[in-house]
A and B are shown apart, each in its own frame.
Chain A
Amino acid sequence: MATTSTLRIAWRNLGRNRKRTFLAVSAIALGQLTFLVISALMNGYGDQYFNSITGPLIGHIQIHAPEWREDRSIDLAIDDLGARLEQLRADPGVAHAAPRMYAPVLAALTDEGFMGMVIGIDAQVESHDSGLLAGQDLSGQMGERRVLVGSTFARKYDITPGMELAVIGQDVDGSIANDLFTVTNIVSSQVDIVNSLGIVMSIEDAQEFLLMPDQAHEVLIHVKEPEMVLEVVAGLSTLPVVDGLEILPWREIVPQLVSMIDMIGAFTLIILVIVFIAAAAGITNTMLMSTYERIHEFGMLLSLGCQPNRLGRMVAVEAMLLGLVGVTVGSALAIGVVLLTMDSGLDYAALGGNDASYQVAFQGMQITSRVTPKLLPTDIGIGIVAVLFTSFISALWPMLHIVRLEPMEAMRS
């Protein structure tokens, strides 16, 4: 019951100086709003990085022959591909298992040759959302020496559908591999190498061209639950299907990009600390002013026999209520901002005064200027806990002052 009256007194005390309470609540709300909006943007960036990293280029898991990642040597391949793919796709955690082949080649339309890259794929598998040809099922336009050509590559060398492309490379034996392929379509992919160098053909055509039947250079796996990657890796590692091969989760494949994502978390933490130090100063100031104004009242209560720690508790509860009101307002505003922008996203290019949004490629990832804010319940929770903690810490100074008060000195003030 003591809690009820402490809460009642604390709540009503907030209304004694409404302007000051309004200012303090506004400061806390602004702090929480800033923190949550920045967190939401950082989460959006994090998701963008994550989706880009674990998207068509790197996937969640990669399987290759040992040392293929370092050497990129054409003969370091996965053999017995069909049987292995069958077993991999049977794993309940695996959503897609996409075999790929890569080989640098020279291509020519007429007398003039240019550098290209044969990319052998299973077009149907690569049409899923995180595939190399996401959303484009072009399997009917591939196979039987029919190929797709990357958009930048095509633009650069004036390649159009219907043209015949002479491709010359080296097969697995070291002999010259050459053949004529008909261009059926020009494609754009999220993977820059496809756009800039890609001569995309069916995996069967690539196997035949490179004399590598039932082989591939890598199998790229997307799992059903991204947070279960390590469990799926652990499960697959015990199977004979990966015997003699290297199986790696995405975090081990691109550690430098992982550290970028981790840096986002650190940045958010720094913002949290800065914002709440500012909020703490506001709350401390409010509580000190409020306490000094009520010294006489505290003296009266001490004279009546109220224990100093009870008064200290009242001040702490008041500070925490102040924080709770502020953090609730700030959270509501942040939720509003995120709801308003979650469909269209926020375009940094437009905010910076540019006319059009941009998209840049970095280490094979596509990063766009448009970010979709994503507010997590845990961020709101962290904000609330941080404000309540800050409020309590802010109340310590006035509390220490109060618990040392002597009733008559306070009454005389």
Chain B
Amino acid sequence: MSDTLVDIKKVVKEFHTGKVAVQALRGVDLVVKTGDFMAIVGPSGSGKTTLLNIIGALDIPTGGSVNLFDRNLSELSRKDRADLRLHQLGFVFQAYNLVPVLTARENVEFVLELQGEGNGRETTALATLESLGLADLADRRPTEMSGGQQQRVAVARAVASKPKLVLADEPTANLDSENAETLLKMMRDLRDTHDMTFVFSTHDPLVVSYASRVVTLRDGVVVSDEQRNGDEIGED
């Protein structure tokens, strides 16, 4: 496989509200490469989340083509898309990321279990939490953690199986700036140490400041794709 993880060409996504059709994406072209730390930005309604959902195989486009890990998204069944998400992608959502009745360790273990990992699950889960400095949260349930801690555990869960691509939808939206910064540093370290790729949909300037690449959407169209010197970013 090449270092291109996602190849999107002329993607259109139309939603129907009653008899009215709304185009959320109007011919988007985008390539996500290994090692990208990409922020997709734009005003509300610009199509950020729609684009992220398509990259995450959570939605399929109305037109155009999407290749995820050299597989054509339109040709995948519902089950195949779920398998793709499970084995190739990691997700961090804006809020309510964790299963509330499971501890941090169990949340991480649960996804490993879904992926079919056997007896080593607990060890892997603990090692992941430990490597991210979250060992002391291992036995806490989400209700016993702050929002920032929950998001960091969600990142641990997303990266535990070392997926090639992690997608995060407004991951800092509910965090104060200190927690947001801790989270972003953690994700950037993971990118650097494990050769992972991160794509964010965000309004947060702090996330943008950490991004190595900023894609701006407006009215469903990519209006700019700016490559930045990632190592210096976020250190200001």
Residues of A within 8 A of B (CB): 1-2, 5, 8-9, 12-13, 15-16, 296-297, 300-307, 310, 407-408, 411
For the complex of A and B, 8 pairs with smallest distance between CB atoms: A305-B86, A12-B101, A305-B85, A305-B82, A408-B58, A407-B58, A303-B91, A306-B114
Give CA–CA (A1, B99) in the complex, Å.
18
Chain A hits for B102, CB < 8 A: 8-9, 12
- Given A310-B114, A407-B58, A408-B59, A9-B99 contact (CB < 8 Å): yes
Say yes or no: A297 contacts B79, CB within 8 Å.
no
Q: Is the CB of A306 within 8 A of B82?
A: yes
Contact, CB under 8 Å: B96 / A304: no
Residues of B within 8 A of A12 (CB): 101-102
Interface of B with A (CB < 8 Å)?
53, 56, 58-59, 79, 82-87, 89, 91, 93, 96-97, 99-102, 106, 109-111, 113-115, 118, 121
Q: Within 8 Å CB of A9, what residues of B?
A: 99, 101-102, 110
* Chain B residue at minimum C-beta to C-beta distance from A302: B82
Interface contact B85-A303, CB-CB below 8 Å: yes
| Bound-complex Cα distance A68 to B61 (A) | 91
Which residue in A8, A300, A304 is a CB contact (below 8 Å) of B114? Answer: A304
Provide 16 A-B residue pairs closer than 8 Å at the C-beta atoms, listed in order of the A residue.
Answer: A1-B113, A8-B102, A8-B106, A9-B99, A9-B102, A12-B101, A15-B101, A16-B100, A297-B100, A301-B99, A303-B56, A303-B91, A304-B91, A305-B87, A305-B115, A306-B114
A307 to B80, CA, bound (A): 10
B160: shortest Cβ distance to chain A, in Å?
Answer: 11
Among candidates B53, B83, B87, B110, residue contacting A408 with C-beta atoms closer than 8 Å: B53
Query: In the complex, which residue of chain A has the Cβ closest to the Cβ of B96?
Result: A296
B226 to chain A, nearest CB (A): 28
A116 to chain B, nearest CB (A): 80
Name the CB-closest residue of B to A4. Answer: B113
Known: A9-B99, A16-B100, A304-B85. 20 other contacts (CB 8 A): A1-B113, A1-B118, A5-B109, A5-B113, A12-B101, A12-B102, A300-B97, A303-B58, A303-B93, A304-B86, A305-B83, A305-B84, A305-B114, A306-B82, A306-B86, A306-B114, A307-B79, A307-B82, A310-B114, A408-B59
Bound-state CA distance A296–B118 (Å) is: 28
A290 to chain B, nearest CB (A): 12
B159 to chain A, nearest CB (A): 13
